Chain A
Amino acid sequence: MIESIFLVIFNTVLNFLVGIIRLILLPIDALIQAWIPDLSNGLTAIGDLIVIMTQTIGWAISAAGIPSSVVALIASYWIFVVTVPVSVWFIKLVLKWYKALRG
């Protein structure tokens, strides 16, 4: 239950990051695509290459003999690391504002 809540928070953060990056880069990418299409194609190819390379991660984990439980443990740990401090920080922020307004 708690893990799935953290997973949702983590996915939300990731999606937010991706959205912000897209919004910032949208006009730049559109300009590049409109005026220097070859450069745009080259950049897309680099991105595709990274995606293709990451498709080997599953094989690499298997080759290294790392159990899936370890991968899940590390993934869960990182979800915890990047979500719980944010939540705590947010609670602290609310409390700070509450104190400031009160006093």
Chain B
Amino acid sequence: MIKKIILILTALIFTITPLFILVPSASAVSDYDQAYRTIGVEDMSIEMNNYGSNNLSCDEFFIGLNWSDFIQDEDNWRQKTQTYYDFRDNFNDAINNDGAWGVTKRSPSSGYEYITIFFSKESYTHNLNWFYNPITEAQTVNLNNVYTGGIYFTNYLTGSGTNCKPVLSVNSANPNPGAVLVSNNSNAWNFFIHGYNPNYPVDYEGELVQEEAPTPKTNIYPRFSYSINQQGQVTVHYLSSNLIQNPQSIDCTMPAVGAYNLRVSFYKGSTLLQTRDIDCTEPIFDFQTDGLGDYSIEMEYINAPDLELPPPYLYQPLFPLEGYNPVKSIVNFSYIGFIVSGSNTQPQADCTAGSGVNSCDVQNEFNDCDWADFGCHLSNFIIQLQIWVFNMLYAVFGITPNQIPQIEQIFSFELDTHGLTSVVTAPLSVFNNLISSSYTCSPLNLPLPNLDNKNIVLPCLTPIYEDHFSSGFVMYQTIITGIAFYYVTVNLLRHFKELTDPKKDSIEVIKL
């Protein structure tokens, strides 16, 4: 019996195992599927961060679709030698006479990037060549008989210095017998390769070759405007995006637009003062400036919902991720007292003047006066004087316009006082509170020294007196009331007497 079971199990194992080995999996890939990688136009840029022993660094240089124009301009060449002129002529010959060409971005080691330009003339065979190395598992796409040039930062080519000017560097005016377009074991991304037969390997299921330069995504950016009052309070108005024409009509309960989708950041210089996530239900919001200085407001779409709005909501979707590129809208302005001068960083920001809001244009509070209009000149003079006073206050005392209290606040007890003023006005505050009947008894909590969170609590004593000495306490209070009444009556009479004297004009004062 046991033998039979073992035999059946063995037969099953030998029957099933070949099935796993021989039947190809539905998700199987060819040996070339990882070779080709591509990027979009928004990634067509190079930068350098602390590269090499000299820690070379350069800010991002975005070339986008301008790589071809870059080659044409001699000012972008590393050298103006015959090699470069021949390179340019051959390139123009290739693109004008059915040649083939393409662009790849490379980052062979951490810290630096460059762009390689390939082209082949009409007389060459334009096939992509796919290779697979079973030992290293490298998957490569190669080009034969191809001219190559690169766009590098100058200091990368020289190995030192701070010259970050991007230049075209060409080693040879002759074609290279073989060059790597992309490879799975190197950091290279093909932007596109035009005019080549992709020549895909059998069973290829990898990324398709990008045969044309990708169309740039449409920038979508929030439109807003701002206004600023004399206290330095900035009010930002979200208007719409450059693609949505009628934001006020969007039903904010729709899931596509109900989620938080806008982020507003408020900077002083490079310091982030405040950031807020908002949706279209909140088109107006305020920021408070932190004194005089240079500010910027940035607004961007975040958490882009990739949803289509169904009928009857026939508005354009907020922005489907495909085809749209969210771009920040930025406005810079300087707050110098009453005057706000500013500029938007077009094309991202698109401030529009509207009712109750100001445009992003320079806001000049000075009037444009006719030479004989003295009232107008006087008005400008007063504005100038106000600016001067504000600047003086800031320079000498460090007081910013938003720290200057309103006149009604000065003549009240609402304002928090400090320094000498707090000492001098303390008795007046006491008196004010006394008159306002705010001195009702509350138990005293006295913290005990050297004991954390331990207090002595002294309860109000009147209820205790009433409980324990009810009749005696009533008698005591009656006597006190009588004395107070006597004191008040006598003094009132004296005052009435004085008031009836028409020649006496002294005024009683409180000795603080």
State in angstroms the CA–CA spacing of A13 and B491 once bound together: 22
Chain A residues closer than 8 Å to B508, beta-carbon distance: 81-82, 85
**What residues of B have a CB within 8 angstroms of the CB of A15 in the complex?**
411-413
Q: How does the 8 Å CB contact mask read for A65-98 relative to B, with 1 for contact and 0 for none? A: 1110111111101111110111011001100000
Interface residues of A toward B: which range? 35 or more
Q: Which residue of B lies closest to A10 (CB)?
A: B435
In B423-464, the 8 Å CB interface with A consists of 423-435, 437, 439-444, 458, 460-462
Interface residues of B in 383-434 (CB under 8 A from A): 393, 396-399, 410-413, 415, 417-434
Set of chain A residues within 8 Å of B437, measured between Cβ atoms:
72, 75
User: Once the chains bind, are B397 and A73 in contact (CB under 8 Å)?
Assistant: no
Q: Is B502 an interface residue (CB 8 A)?
A: yes
| A residues near B427, Cβ cutoff 8 Å | 50
Cα distance, A31 to B491, chains bound together (Å): 45
Q: Is B26 an interface residue (CB 8 A)?
A: no
For A32, list chain B residues within 8 Å (CB): 419-420
In the complex, what residues of A have CB within 8 A of residue B434's CB?
A: 57, 71, 75
Tell me whether A25 and B420 are in contact (CB under 8 A): yes
Listed in ascending order, the chain A residues whose CB lies under 8 Å from chain B are: 7, 10-11, 14-19, 21-23, 25-34, 40, 43-44, 46-48, 50-51, 54, 56-59, 61-63, 65-67, 69-75, 77-82, 84-86, 88-89, 92-93
| B441 and A88 contact, CB distance less than 8 A | no
Instruction: Jot down 20 A-B pairs with beta carbons below 8 A, ordered by A.
Output: A14-B432, A21-B428, A22-B421, A25-B420, A43-B422, A44-B419, A46-B422, A47-B422, A58-B439, A58-B440, A58-B441, A59-B442, A59-B458, A69-B481, A70-B481, A72-B437, A75-B437, A82-B508, A85-B499, A89-B505
* Residue positions of B touching A, CB distance < 8 A: 393, 396-399, 410-413, 415, 417-435, 437, 439-444, 458, 460-462, 465, 473, 476-477, 480-481, 484-485, 488, 491-492, 495, 498-499, 502, 505-510
Q: Judge whether A81 and B461 touch: CB under 8 Å.
A: no
17 further A-B pairs in the complex, CB-CB below 8 A; given A29-B421, A59-B443, A79-B435: A11-B432, A18-B411, A22-B417, A43-B423, A48-B422, A51-B430, A57-B439, A58-B439, A58-B440, A58-B441, A58-B442, A65-B465, A71-B434, A73-B484, A77-B488, A81-B491, A82-B508
- A59–B420 touching, CB < 8 Å: no
A32 to B444, CA, bound (A): 34
A18 to B421, CA, bound (A): 9
Residues B420 and A29 in contact, CB atoms below 8 Å apart: yes
Going nearest first, the 9 A-B pairs with the smallest beta carbon separation are A47-B422, A19-B411, A30-B397, A62-B441, A50-B426, A29-B419, A58-B439, A44-B418, A58-B441
Provide the bound-state CA to CA distance between A14 and B419, in Å: 20
User: Quick one: which of A14, A65, A69 contacts B462, CB cutoff 8 A?
Assistant: A65
Which of A31, A44, A73 has the most C-beta atoms of chain B within 10 angstroms of its own C-beta?
A44
B415 near A74 (CB under 8 angstroms)? no
B411 contacts which chain A residues (CB < 8 A)?
15-16, 18-19
When distances are taken between beta carbons in the complex, the residues of chain A under 8 Å from B460 are 59, 62-63
A27 touches B397 (CB 8 A): yes
Residues of A within 8 Å of B393, CB to CB, are: 30
Chain B positions within 8 Å of A47 at CB level: 417-419, 421-423, 425-426
CA distance A72 to B477 in the complex (A): 14
CB of A30 within 8 A of CB of B492, answer no
